[in-house]
Amino acid sequence: MNSVWALLASIALIRTTLSNYLPEKLRLYISAQFEEWTRRFNTDETMVFKDYQSSKMNQLFQAANLYPGESLPTISIPRVTVEKTENVRNLTFSMEKNTEMIDVYENIPMKWKYFSEYSQGMSKHEIRWYELSFHKEYKSLVTKCYLPYILERANKIKERNRVVQLHTAAHDFWTPKPVIIQHPMTFETLAMDGNLKKELVEDLDRFMNSKEYYQQIGKVWKRGYLLYGPPGTGKSSLIAAMANHLNFDIYNLNLSAVSSDFVLQNLLLSTANRSILVIEDIDCSIKFQNRESGIEQPIKYQQQNKVTLSGLLNFFDGILSCCGEGKILVATTNYKDRIDPALLRAGRMDMHIYLTYCTFSAFKQLALRYLEISDHSLFHHIQKLLPKVKVSPAEVAGELMKTRDPKASIEGLIKHLEEKLIADGNSEVSPKHHSSLSQTSNCQVHESSISLPLACNGASMDNVKSSGPKPDVSVKSKLTADGEGDNNFEKTDLVRDRSSGHNILQVIEDMEKELLSYKEAIMALQKKLCRTLNKLAEIKATI
């Protein structure tokens, strides 16, 4: 014991002597050589990850903050920090200050330590860092494999834990506080044609797993989708399902609120990676001329346009679209033919998805979700009615939600569909549209069965008079149809104005043409009424 104390005293004396009598440069040299000598006997190597590097957040520190926390719930460690904020889905675990844990990678132990202290001086701030220690023979494995693995795992943890948020543009910038989207729609609950849904999900998954492939072929890792079809067919619900499936934020852009092409480019640059940029009703939000339609755009729209077609094309696939990765662009419209074909080509809109009215396949998905049934004896009635009625999936879902009893719910839906069928069959017919309604029918239509009121643009023939002398001319007409009542037409003093040369025969010819148009329109209406009655008889026979 005395020899140990003597050795320590000798070391202290030597250290004091070196500090007092040796020059500083010589002391530093001796110290460096001593550390080099002791390092030969040390088998471990340590890497330090500070929170900030050159005033910017260190990505390796962020990754180290997330990665060890995934294993902490299963490791015996004295102290663990647990957090839960509104911007993350799950609980997050992290190491407490001055604690350590062991991670095993490729059967090699990796020791993690977390440190934290406050800086000295007037403005005190917290300094945080992680230390990673491992056997020095595995240094190459750590730098080439382990650290990239940590970065990749941390990104997946961050994507899995974050909640989907909605960003909107205001005053040429994205709003600083996005809204958390809590839309429950998923592809499992989305009422959509089964084959089309499967094709879309496979396309999304294939895109997400093709980052290296896109780099290999020299293409920007992005994808464009066009959703088109009648209103109310589920375009917005499909976007929500895509966002929940990918766990991507949504950036909703109204082109009419963008002041210039320059602002449009800045908005694109400020969207986050792995996000969905949505332009709803692209044909309505700004008046772009379809250059292949042959219709010149009105001057007032040309003056109102703040974003040009060229600016939008560059926005879709110009050089600025190369900034960022994993971005998805979704445009919606009710009228695909109103969009310039240049916006629709591959590379801008890679996949065109037509969303139609509710099909029988979509109805079966709704029935399974809302009524928890996959088949019913009344399903064949729905299958016959849906092709004849234009009804959206949302409207069908609304009818199924009225009661939880399957039989009563389906009967209510059948009644609703039949009422819509009758309403569509009894729509008003305009004379100028009579040609579109004149179709063959099983009903026999006889001209003699139609009673026609006689009129001329709602104006009295008494107005057709001359201020000059009147010859003794009077016209009386009487029309009778099927012996039912008399449609009396008595007009007097129909004369020729000799001074102006106005011929009464021209007036009568114009009247006859208008009456014939009304006659044809009423005949077409009667045919359509007969077809409706036949359809109702068929429906009644099947019940």
pLDDT at 8 (0 to 100): 67
Considering the domain architecture, whether residues 182 and 326 belong to the same structural domain is answered as yes
Q: How many CA atoms lie within 13 A of 519 on its CB side?
A: 16
Same domain for 224 and 345, yes or no, is yes
Mark whether 219 and 321 lie in a shared domain: yes
In this structure, is residue 285 part of a structural domain?
Answer: yes
How far is residue 260 CA from its own chain's centroid?
24
Structural domains counted in the chain: 3
Assess whether 60 and 205 both reside in one domain: no
Could you tell me if 288 and 340 are in contact, meaning their C-beta atoms sit under 8 angstroms apart? yes
Give the contacts of 151 (CB within 8 A, at least 6 positions apart).
59, 60, 63
Are residues 285 and 364 located together in one domain of the fold? no
SS3 category, 130: strand
Contacts of 384 (CB under 8 A, 6+ apart): 542
Residue 217 to residues 155, 210, 226, 311, Cα–Cα distance (Å): 24, 11, 24, 26
What pLDDT is recorded for position 75? 66
Exposed e or buried b for every residue in 342-368, given b needs 16+ CB within 10 A? bbbeeebbbeebebbbbbeebbbbbbe
Which portions of the chain are predicted below pLDDT 50? 289, 291, 293-297, 299-303, 426-502
Residue-wise DSSP of 426-442: T----GGGHHHH----S
Q: Per the domain annotation, does 130 fall within a domain?
A: yes
- Whole-structure pTM value: 0.61
Nearest to 348 by CA among 332, 334, 329: 329
Q: 325 and 208 in one domain?
A: yes
The answer to the question of residue 35 being in a domain is no
DSSP H/E element including 10: helix 2-21
Q: Are residues 347 and 318 in the same domain?
A: yes
Helix (H) or strand (E) run with residue 67 in it = helix 59-71
CB 142 within 8 A of CB 149: no
pLDDT (tens digit per residue) in 23-56: 767 767 777 776 666 666 677 888 998 888 767 8
Read off the CATH number of the domain in which 322 is found.
3.40.50.300
Name, in order, each residue with C-beta under 8 angstroms of 172's C-beta and a sequence gap of 6 or more. 258, 259, 263, 266, 267
* Residue 272 falls inside a structural domain: yes
User: Is residue 92 domain-shared with residue 206, that is, in the same domain?
Assistant: no
DSSP letter, residue 134: E
pLDDT at site 428: 38
Angle at the Cα of 161 from the Cα atoms of 160 and 162, rounded to 5 degrees: 100
Q: What domain range includes position 389?
A: 360-422
- By CB atoms closer than 10 A (0-12, 13-18, 19+), residue 181 is middle
428 within some domain: no
Q: Does 200 share its domain with 311?
A: yes
**Residue 227 CB contacts under 8 Å (≥ 6 apart), including other chains:** 235, 238, 239, 330, 331, 332, 333, 353, 355
Give a yes or no: residue 430 inside a domain: no
**144/236 same-domain check:** no
The owner of tokens 């916006």 is 343
Same domain, 284 and 397: no
Q: What is the reported pLDDT for 411?
A: 92
Is residue 13 assigned to a domain? no
Asked if residue 225 and residue 179 are part of one domain, the reply reads: yes
Domain boundary among 333, 354, 375: 354
d(CA 476, CA 454): 12
Cα separation, 48 vs 491, in Å, equals: 107
In Å, how far are 31, 162, 226, 333 from 167, measured between CA atoms? 57, 15, 20, 21
In a domain, 457, yes or no: no
* Of 172, 171, 160, residue with least CA distance to 67: 160
Domain end among 422, 457, 472: 422
CB 88 within 8 A of CB 69: no
Q: What is the pLDDT of residue 417?
A: 92
